[in-house]
Every structure is written in structure tokens, then in C-alpha cells.
A and B are shown apart, each in its own frame.
Chain A
Amino acid sequence: MKVSLFITCLVDNIFPNVGVAMTRILQAHGCDVRFSPEQTCCGQPSFNSGYCDASRDVASALIRALHEADVVVSPSGSCVGMIRHYYPELFADSPKWREMAIDVANKTYEFSQFMVNVLKVDDVGARFPHAVTYHPSCHGSRLLGVKDEPLQLLQHVRDIQLIELPYARDCCGFGGTFAVKMGDISGAMVDEKAQHVTETGAEVLVGTDMGCLMNIGGRLSRTGQSTRVMHLAELLYEGMRNSKEVLV
């Protein structure tokens, strides 16, 4: 299957290893992976702040980069949510763009959603002998409706110890520009989240959205916690390499 990547701006510039891990996993499952460097960002930061014109400009660059793809996979539930949920509305006034936007929206999947629902893979053969807790990001789980898929993938990892996160479904306080504009409120929210993560005693916090993980990770590191923060794809890829080492 030909799979085009949408590597979000955050992953591209700050967490490129998440993109690498996702690429490797997809390749290991027989996907012919492509990446168009003409993409930048989904346009969410400006859209959620109210600047639709800016978002249209940015989103149309992404649509141009992706419109010829068969399917698109991205490591962020929030950005995929933006594309699926808001692109049709964003281009409501231009029939030509709207059609392309809907086409891109219909073929774009979040990573775990694609693995489980399209590739029908919930066991990637990974082994990860650590205590792990999972934070379900709001946009991925609520707006996009990806709830069980990440857990299905995690549950099949060998030797993993999954610890439930108290108040898991409460927002971590990221919310894009919210974290900057309402920094103190957002700070209080992430503080609570980081405390809950620490309470679990897990070595690793895993999630499916780097925005949230950057937020929680930033608070954990500021408060001197050593908890490792990983994207689901990173964890699975590291786990796949672990189990290879065992076999060899």
C-alpha cells in the first residue's frame, strides 16, 4: 500500500524521531512510504485562534502536497482531527478547494487508527519491559474518536507493564496557543497532570500527540522528574528493535 506521511510541524522540527519510528513501522508492515517536503503544518494554530485566512493559506499548501496521495498517515490525532473535522468548513466558500479538502480529509488517518483499522495490525511484535502509563489526548480521542486503537497496540507489547493514569482523560492544558495565551491556567492544568503521571510510578509516559507530550514532558522535566515521554510510534519501534535483539 502506498502511504504518504503527514509529518506535523512539531514532529518535523522538534521530534523527528517520531517520524522516523512511524516510517519504520509502516515499512516493516509492507507499506510503500512517501513524504512530500512541500508540506508544512495543518493550520490549526491560527484556526483555533480565529485567523481563518491564515489557516486557509497554510492548509492549502498541505492539500496541494497531499491531494495525490492514496492514504495519508500522521502521528498526531489533533492535526488529523483538524483536517477531518474543520477542513471542509474552512474551504466552504470555494467549491474546487472544498472538494480537494474533503478528499484529503477522507483519506487521512492518525497513526494508531491506520495501524489497527486499515492495516488491521494490533501486534507489531514489540517487546518493551517497562512500566508505562498512557495519556489519551483530547483531540485524538474526543474529536477524532480514536479511543481504543492506541491501547490495542500497547496491550500487545510483550513484557510491558501498563499502569492506569488517574484522571487520564482530563486535558493536560496544552491546547496549542492556549498554553501561551493563558499560560498560568494551562500551567496549573499541566501541573496536575504531571503529578498524576508521577503518582503512577511509571518509567514512561506514552501518548499519540507530541503537543500534549511536549507539554507534560516540559513540566516533568521542570520539576525534576525522570519520567521518559514517548510517542506511541517511538515506543513500538523501540520495542520492535528490542525483540529483534532477543531473537538474534
Chain B
Amino acid sequence: MTNASESSTTVLQRAEVAMQDEFLRKAVRFTTDRLRNKKQTVTASFGNWEAWRERGEAIRAHTIANLDFYLGQFADNLEKQGAHVHFAHDAAEAVTAVRQVVREKGAKQIVKSKSMVSEEIHINQHLEEDGVRVIETDLGEYIIQLAHEAPSHIIIPAIHKNREQIRDLFEADSANNLSTETRDLTAFARRRLREAFLSADIGITGCNFGIAETGSMVLFTNEGNADMVMNIPKTHIVVMGMERILPTLSDLEVMAHLLPKSATGQNVITYMSMITGPKRSLDHDGPTDLHVIILDNGRSRQLGDAQFQAVLHCIRCGACLNVCPVYRQIGGHAYGAVYPGPIGAVLSPLLNGGEQYSDLPYASSLCGACYEACPVRIPLHDMLVHERQRQVQNGHGKPLEQLAMKGYRQMFAKPGCYRLAVRMARSFQGPLVRNGKIRARIGPLGGWTATRDFPALAKRSFRDLWPNLQNGGDSDE
């Protein structure tokens, strides 16, 4: 299973492939289980988690409601410190901005730290077309780069790989013999990446949060690789989504609790790196040239839309993926988009518009686990319903479904029709029923009866029984 993003398949078709991959399913279950259990433990011992979530939601809601102001303040402060700010309307503009810097510097080798936004604009692919070597330095990203795949989780990009597969990838790249011990595998990657850090001309990172008040950018990592990426090469390019702003450093304090606890169940993040402007004369290290690319790419369309603005509150912690029962079964690639899981099912159709991801909002049972997990309380399940409603409003309902809903409307809107229809259904079901169950894969029920039985209609409905029940009579069936 490799990248499905460009394919014309449906989510259900991709899911079928994924569900046949026992390795993938085991790996995804194992890791999501571990992450959510750790999260539970950490938030329970931290205490008042609901109050923290409310604070998180309030900060994000305030920021996004005043995004133009805070973005302006952020960009002003960046420039005051000597950084170059580029606003990119779409992916192409962001790529052009990066390319320009790369050309100016005559760069041949780039190190990167993990960033979903850079996946969104497919920067590696574009730079490689220009003959520039890009090396991912997050261990998970490094693994999937070797496998020529896309991340299948927001936080754990190689969640779908097991140790044997990782060992094989490393061996293929180096002709070394390696064991499947974590220690060996990480030591190998560390050696390789060290060489890359020291010889790179440019470092590219994402940005977890941009602080408007100070013009600082904050990165959270567990491997410390972002520190190297932003401090060793002379030039540092930051690519960030326009929504990743926080007004002040004290807001960051709240997020520094919410993000790692939700993402991996860690009480605190291992490395929090903050950069405020390029290297000053007395600084020991840091880039001499700092470029910040702030990407819209469909985000601003959500501003002012009461049903969807809150999607911009997302801090990309991945907690919604870890609790999602659908993600657990099908993994990230089946979503066929850069952002998988519940947030991806909501975000991908919104960012891209059009038809491309129109089936993603249906890949959810609306169980609400994502909302419950989200540290900033984004009502993802409501948004999924609203996206479905928008599609129907815009005339994109599937013909068969439209017909079924028409039938449902006619039958259930009038009690008389309902009674008649039930009576008819009861007499038609006869040949399909065995021991009170329907197993035949007929019509729209086929999706159900492939894996489970469907109960037959009862001989007498509740409304038939009611006359004997109402006076407390004892004529129970």
C-alpha cells in the first residue's frame, strides 16, 4: 500500500485494500492503543483536563476570530527582526517562494524536520525535480521517505510499519546488516542524519505555533532534529499554515500542555525549540537568513463560515486519529489525502473544494470519539454531518441514495403511509427470513448482510400491542 492520494479510487475501495493488510492493521491498532492509553493516564493525573480543554478552545477561538489582526502583528514582528515574510495564496505560490530561496542560495542539499504543511504543498517532490536533495530528519518521516510513501498519521508518519519492514528499508538503503532492535535502528538513522545536518545548505521546518506578540516560531519535537535543522544550515525556511498563530507566550503555555499530552501522552514535550528572528551578532548559532512562508491554500475560505470556522482551531495533535474506530481499521493511506483520520475527513474536502474528497465525510460512524479527544474541542462529528448536508444542498447526492431518502421521506412523514408500508414490508419479507433473521445480500442491505444478520420485522409492532398495554393490562407478548 503506497500513496493513494492521486488515485481515483473511493475511500471504501482503498479501505478494502488496507483491511486485507494484517501487518498494517496490527501496527495501527498497537500504536493507537498505546498512544490513547498513555494520553488517558497523563491527562487523568494532570487533573482538570476538561477545564484545560476549555481554555484551549477559548484561546483558539479568539485567535481565529481575530486572525487578520494577529497575522499582521506576527508578520510585522518577524520583519522587524529581519526575517523575510512571504504570504502564499496557494500551494504553487508557496513552492515558488521556497524555490526562489533555494536558487538564490544555489542549494544542493536540504534537511527537513517533519511538517504536514510541507506535505500539503509536496515540496520534496518539487525540489527533487530541480535536482535538489531533500532529507527528512524525523525518524518516522525518514522511514517513509525511504519507502517512497506519504505519512499515514499526523504525528507518527510511519505508524503502519513494523520493525522488520523498517530494518529492510534501512538495509536496502545502505547495504548494512541490521538487527530489528530499536537501539540499532535508531543508531543507524542517527549516523546517517548527522552527515546530512552537517552538509546541508538549507533547513526547512514547519511551525507548531507562531507567537504574534513576539514574532517567535515554536517547534515541538521528540528527537531534537528540528533544533539541528534550524540552527546548523545558514538558511532556514519555515512553512506554516496561516492558522498556526497564538497571540502571546502565555497562550503557548496552555498549548504546551495540551499538545504533547494529547498527541503522545507525554507530560511535556522533549524538545521545544523557539526561534525569534535570524542570528544576531552575539548569537552563537542560528541561520543568518530566515524566510517564513505563510500558507493559505483554502484555509481562509473557512473564516466567517459558522459551520466550519472552528476547523482552523486544530493544533494537529493527532488525538482524534488515535481514538477513531474507522482510522483504527483502515489506517491513514486509505483516506487518500494528506491529512488522514477524522480531522482529515473534515479538512481535506474543505481545503481542496470540489469533488476530489467528497466521500471522506461519509467515512465516519459519527461516534463522536474525535470530539471527545480533541484538546480544543472541535466538533468534528457535527462538521462531518454539515459537510454531507452541503453536498446534498449542492446537488451532489448519489442517485440511489436520493431515491432512498425520497422513499424514507414519503413513508415516515405521514403516519398513515408508515403503517401501510410496514404492513407491506412485513408480508414481503417472508421468503427472506430464516429463524427470525435475514441473511440474503439484497439491495441496499447488502453492505450490512455481508458480515452480519439483520433481524426480521416483528409480527406485531409496538403500536399494535399498545391498546393492550395502556391500562396496565397484563397481556404481554
A-side residues, CB < 8 A to B, are 7, 9, 11-17, 19-20, 23-24, 27, 33-35, 37-41, 43, 45-54, 57-58, 60-61, 65, 138-139, 142-143, 169-171, 173-176, 178-192, 214-215, 217-219, 221-222
Report if B401 contacts A (CB, 8 A).
yes
15 pairs, A vs B, C-beta closer than 8 Å: A13-B462, A24-B469, A43-B412, A52-B389, A54-B408, A65-B415, A139-B367, A170-B325, A178-B365, A180-B444, A183-B451, A185-B12, A186-B451, A214-B454, A222-B452
Query: How far, in angstroms, from A61 to B453 measured CA to CA in the complex?
Result: 31
Query: How far, in angstroms, from A142 to B323 measured CA to CA in the complex?
Result: 13
With A7-B462, A173-B325 known as contacts, the answer to whether A185 contacts B363 (CB < 8 A) is yes
B471 to chain A, nearest CB (A): 9
Annotate B350-394 by CB proximity to A: 1 below 8 A, 0 otherwise: 000000000000111111110110000000010001001111110
Report if B450 contacts A (CB, 8 A).
yes
Give B307's nearest chain A residue, CB to CB.
A89
Report if B405 contacts A (CB, 8 A).
yes
With A20-B477, A171-B325 known as contacts, the answer to whether A40 contacts B412 (CB < 8 A) is yes
Query: How far, in angstroms, from A175 to B366 measured CA to CA in the complex?
Result: 6
B198 to chain A, nearest CB (A): 46
Interface of A is mostly: helix
With A20-B465, A184-B450 known as contacts, the answer to whether A50 contacts B16 (CB < 8 A) is no
Contact B460 A16 (CB under 8 A): yes
B205 to chain A, nearest CB (A): 35
Contact B412 A41 (CB under 8 A): yes
Give A54's nearest chain B residue, CB to CB.
B409
Contact A12 B476 (CB under 8 A): no
Interface of B is mostly: helix
B16 to chain A, nearest CB (A): 6
Most B-side CB within 10 Å, residue of A49, A52, A143, A218: A49
With A180-B444, A189-B326 known as contacts, the answer to whether A174 contacts B365 (CB < 8 A) is yes
Contact B447 A179 (CB under 8 A): yes
Contact B363 A19 (CB under 8 A): no
Contact A49 B401 (CB under 8 A): yes
Query: How far, in angstroms, from A143 to B371 measured CA to CA in the complex?
Result: 10
Contact A39 B455 (CB under 8 A): no
With A20-B476, A185-B326, A190-B451 known as contacts, the answer to whether A143 contacts B408 (CB < 8 A) is no
With A51-B392, A138-B369, A190-B451 known as contacts, the answer to whether A12 contacts B405 (CB < 8 A) is no
With A179-B448, A183-B451 known as contacts, the answer to whether A39 contacts B363 (CB < 8 A) is no
Report if B466 contacts A (CB, 8 A).
yes
B403 to chain A, nearest CB (A): 11
Query: How far, in angstroms, from A11 to B371 measured CA to CA in the complex?
Result: 28
With A16-B460, A173-B365, A183-B451 known as contacts, the answer to whether A61 contacts B414 (CB < 8 A) is yes
Report if B418 contacts A (CB, 8 A).
yes
Contact B446 A47 (CB under 8 A): no
Contact A14 B463 (CB under 8 A): no
Contact B453 A53 (CB under 8 A): no
Query: How far, in angstroms, from A143 to B367 measured CA to CA in the complex?
Result: 9
The 8 Å CB contact of B365, one of A19, A20, A37, A171, is: A171
Q: Report chain A residues within 8 Å CB of B457.
A: 13-14
Give B464's nearest chain A residue, CB to CB.
A16
A169 to chain B, nearest CB (A): 7
B-side residues, CB < 8 A to A, are 11-12, 15-16, 19, 325-326, 328-330, 362-369, 371-372, 381, 385, 388-393, 397, 401, 405-406, 408-409, 412-415, 418, 422, 437, 439, 444-448, 450-458, 460-466, 469-470, 472, 476-477
Give B413's nearest chain A residue, CB to CB.
A57
The 8 Å CB contact of B367, one of A57, A138, A190, is: A138
A136 to chain B, nearest CB (A): 11
With A61-B414, A184-B447, A186-B447 known as contacts, the answer to whether A171 contacts B367 (CB < 8 A) is yes
Query: How far, in angstroms, from A40 to B453 measured CA to CA in the complex?
Result: 24
With A51-B397, A61-B414, A215-B452 known as contacts, the answer to whether A181 contacts B362 (CB < 8 A) is yes
Give A8's nearest chain B residue, CB to CB.
B462
With A40-B415, A49-B405 known as contacts, the answer to whether A221 contacts B437 (CB < 8 A) is yes
With A138-B367, A180-B445, A180-B447 known as contacts, the answer to whether A219 contacts B452 (CB < 8 A) is yes
With A12-B463, A14-B458, A37-B466 known as contacts, the answer to whether A183 contacts B415 (CB < 8 A) is no
Contact A178 B364 (CB under 8 A): yes
Give A60's nearest chain B residue, CB to CB.
B413
The 8 Å CB contact of A189, one of B325, B392, B393, B448, is: B325
With A13-B422, A139-B368, A178-B366 known as contacts, the answer to whether A188 contacts B329 (CB < 8 A) is yes
With A7-B463, A138-B369 known as contacts, the answer to whether A184 contacts B12 (CB < 8 A) is yes
B380 to chain A, nearest CB (A): 12
Q: Report chain B residues within 8 Å CB of A48.
A: 366, 385, 388
Q: Report chain A residues within 8 Å CB of B470.
A: 33-35
Query: How far, in angstroms, from A170 to B385 measured CA to CA in the complex?
Result: 20
Contact B465 A16 (CB under 8 A): yes
Contact B15 A184 (CB under 8 A): yes
Most A-side CB within 10 Å, residue of B406, B450, B451, B469: B451
Contact B462 A12 (CB under 8 A): yes
A17 to chain B, nearest CB (A): 7
Query: How far, in angstroms, from A7 to B466 measured CA to CA in the complex?
Result: 11
Query: How far, in angstroms, from A182 to B413 measured CA to CA in the complex?
Result: 26
Give B475's nearest chain A residue, CB to CB.
A20
The 8 Å CB contact of B451, one of A47, A51, A54, A191, is: A191
Q: Report chain A residues within 8 Å CB of B329.
A: 185, 188-189, 192
A125 to chain B, nearest CB (A): 17
With A33-B470, A169-B369, A218-B452 known as contacts, the answer to whether A50 contacts B364 (CB < 8 A) is no
A130 to chain B, nearest CB (A): 20
The 3 closest A-B pairs by CB, nearest first: A183-B447, A175-B365, A187-B451
Give A78's nearest chain B residue, CB to CB.
B366
Contact A187 B462 (CB under 8 A): no
Contact B450 A27 (CB under 8 A): no
Give A9's nearest chain B residue, CB to CB.
B412
Q: Report chain A residues within 8 Å CB of B452.
A: 187, 190, 215, 218-219, 221-222
Query: How far, in angstroms, from A184 to B330 measured CA to CA in the complex?
Result: 10
Q: Report chain A residues within 8 Å CB of B453.
A: 217-219, 221-222
